[in-house]
Amino acid sequence: MDTKKVLWGIVIFLLSLVVIYKICNIFITPVDPLYPLDAIYEYDDQEISVRKLFEASYEDIHYSAYWSVTGSYSERTESYHSSYRAPGSSPYEILNKSINIKYDHYYKDEDNVLGILDGECIEPYYEFTCYGDLDEQSTISTYSYYVGIINGYKKTAYGYSGHECSERFEVDKILMPNLDNLTKVAIYFDGSVDEQGHFVVKFVGNKLPCIAPAFGGDGSRSPFNEAEYTFDAQTRKLVKVTLKYEYSHGGCNGPFSVESICLELTINDLAYGDYEIPDVPNMVCDNSILSGALTGEGTFKPSSVIRNDASEKSSLSSTISNIWQNAVSSIPKESCTVDEISESLSYNAIEYGMNIVKKDYYMNRYENAIYIRYLITQDENEIGYILMPLTVYSAQLCNENNILIFAGDELFAWEDGTIWINHRITSSITTDTYYRLYTDGILKLDHRITRESAFSRLSKTEELSLFSYGDFSELHRFVKEHSDSGYTRMDKYEIRENGYFNTYYVVENTTYSKHLSEEYDLTFLSSDYATELTEDNREEKDATWINF
């Protein structure tokens, strides 16, 4: 009997262990420890799992007529002289970048969905380049990114104002990750509730393929290796997402840097009902200020100044100048659109028997200026062009120094915004006039080169006067005393330096510029040094003009 009791006791004990194991298996440990998405936990008499939390959240978010998100994106790089950091040591350089984010999401049906990401960037001005805005001191940097489906067709648009400084991503693809794409991703969730009454699910893995599509392309652009999803334990609603990345490089007692990126998104109230989906803007270019100018939405104050630095003044140039000034003064408002100044210009040209029409434009590669070219004709003959520059300075459109170019002159435009006009005065004298964008947002005459290809012709009074009237007497003496020197060419450089123009001369086939400057009341330079001053030796691509 005792033996039977012992055996029955053992059997009951083993059965108890099995029951306890089953209970633990259901309520505590995952069914499949290798697939924690479906590990079942119990909270408030209900079963929960990572998958169940995200499925419930998907239903809420995806089908809501409207919901919004606020948050921030930040980057921080700390640089140290050595990987060994004593307690309390500080980095010698810290670079910060911070973007305040707002996201609005609209849903009507599967064929009409739109997300709008708005960002406002805050970072030290010295990190800005002139890309998008010529004002380096300005900290204005905002952007909008549209992604959606309108009437069954995918629509996207992007535009920034001020400096170009943005981070583009699709928020809905972050909030609703692809749980079927968790390759090499560790999942952390134990079913517990934190002090704030939240469930926290954490994904850790390289580039996190479950959210990588939110950053475009094949997902390789995703910088994050950790994602933390916070759910309200009572409602099971997703309330916050935090993405993180940290990387250290350098070391061995050498320079050492720590880079970190953080994206925080807080989900606001979800709403149902009817919400009108906003229009997706038509962007001609990413710079929304320049795009607005080209689409007729942006306004600017037109300048009455029209320059004619490349060629000689004439009655024709005076007439065109009058047309331009009349066009500006006849606009009733202080500011106008491109279409309004174009119409006024065309109307005023008719009074002088001319036609002036908008022809084409180009935008420089830094996206801080566009040049609009107007064609001038009379009796079907081409007279020339008016070049109207529109620059972006402190997130405003500016217009200064419009340029007159005659048909006989050659116009070259470079991608950096430089304008170069070649004009022939005589068979042997030509001028090259260069305009460049300055950091005050104005296109200015930068330098002009007058070239005499036949040095011997400068002995003639008329030729010398056309070449350089201001230094006539001293040049006349120089040419007379070097008539048999073998010089074949002479160039005059007028270069803007510290707000003033200085005049220099370059004689071909000589390096004795200092010696010549001591003999004459003229400043001579070597050809190499003159090129260095003007930076005319840099390689630049020709701009591409786009017809209206």
Amino acid at 184: K
pLDDT of 484 higher than 80: no
Name the band, by pLDDT with cuts 50, 70 and 90, for residue 130: confident
Amino acid at 421: I
Tens-place pLDDT, residues 380-399: 999 999 999 999 999 999 99
In a domain, 41, yes or no: no
The whole-number pLDDT of residue 13 equals 58
Name the band, by pLDDT with cuts 50, 70 and 90, for residue 31: very low
In a domain, 4, yes or no: no
In the chain, the percentage of residues whose pLDDT exceeds 90 is 71
351 and 263 part of one domain? no
Q: Indicate the residue among 212, 246, 281 that finishes a domain.
A: 281
Tens-place pLDDT, residues 166-186: 899 999 999 999 999 998 999
Secondary structure E strands in 419-522: 419-424, 429-437, 443-452, 490-497, 500-507
First to last CA, the chain: 106
Average pLDDT across the chain, whole number: 89
260 and 322 part of one domain? no
DSSP code string of 194-258: -TTSEEEEEEESTT-TTTGGGGSTTTTT---SEEEEEEETTT--EEEEEEEEEEEEE-TTS-EEE
The whole-number pLDDT of residue 83 equals 59
pLDDT of 132 higher than 60: yes
The whole-number pLDDT of residue 15 equals 64
Tens-place pLDDT, residues 359-376: 999 999 999 999 999 999
Mean predicted confidence (pLDDT) in 13-26: 54
The whole-number pLDDT of residue 33 equals 43
The answer to whether the beta carbons of residues 283 and 291 sit under 8 Å apart is: yes
- HSE (CB half, 13 Å, CA atoms) of 145? 17
Residue with tokens 């290796």: 225
In a domain, 15, yes or no: no
Here the tokens at position 316 are: 């024709």
The whole-number pLDDT of residue 306 equals 97
The whole-number pLDDT of residue 487 equals 77
In a domain, 277, yes or no: yes
H or E element, residue 528:
helix 527-534
350 and 434 part of one domain? yes
Mean predicted confidence (pLDDT) in 281-308: 96
The whole-number pLDDT of residue 249 equals 73
172 and 219 part of one domain? yes
Can you name the residues that pair with 441 across neighbouring β-strands? none
In a domain, 261, yes or no: yes
293 and 242 part of one domain? no
In a domain, 11, yes or no: no
52 and 194 part of one domain? yes
In a domain, 39, yes or no: no
The whole-number pLDDT of residue 30 equals 42
Rounded to two decimals, what is the model's pTM?
A: 0.83
Q: How many residues does the chain have?
A: 548
User: Rounded to 5 degrees, what angle do the CA atoms 285, 289, 294 make?
Assistant: 60
Q: Indicate the residue among 249, 281, 313 that finishes a domain.
A: 281
Q: Please choose, from the candidates 173, 170, 163, the residue with its C-alpha nearest in 3D space to the C-alpha of residue 142.
A: 163
Q: The domain containing residue 429 runs over which residues?
A: 289-547
Mean predicted confidence (pLDDT) in 3-17: 60
Mean predicted confidence (pLDDT) in 311-339: 95
The whole-number pLDDT of residue 29 equals 41
The whole-number pLDDT of residue 25 equals 46
Name the band, by pLDDT with cuts 50, 70 and 90, for residue 165: confident
Lowest mean pLDDT among 58-62, 465-469, 481-485, 541-545: 481-485
- Between 301 and 511, where is the model more confident? 301
Q: Indicate the residue among 281, 304, 335 that finishes a domain.
A: 281
In a domain, 26, yes or no: no
How many folded domains does the chain comprise?
2
Mean predicted confidence (pLDDT) in 284-291: 96
Q: Please choose, from the candidates 392, 308, 380, 302, the residue with its C-alpha nearest in 3D space to the C-alpha of residue 338.
A: 302
255 and 293 part of one domain? no
Here the tokens at position 86 are: 């004593």
The answer to whether the beta carbons of residues 132 and 366 sit under 8 Å apart is: yes
132 and 244 part of one domain? yes
The answer to whether the beta carbons of residues 374 and 342 sit under 8 Å apart is: yes
Query: Is 537 strand, coil or helix?
Result: coil
In the chain, the percentage of residues whose pLDDT exceeds 70 is 87
The whole-number pLDDT of residue 258 equals 84
Name the band, by pLDDT with cuts 50, 70 and 90, for residue 45: confident
232 and 312 part of one domain? no
CATH number, position 61? 2.50.20
381 and 405 part of one domain? yes
485 and 385 part of one domain? yes
DSSP 311: S
pLDDT of 17 higher than 70: no
255 and 296 part of one domain? no
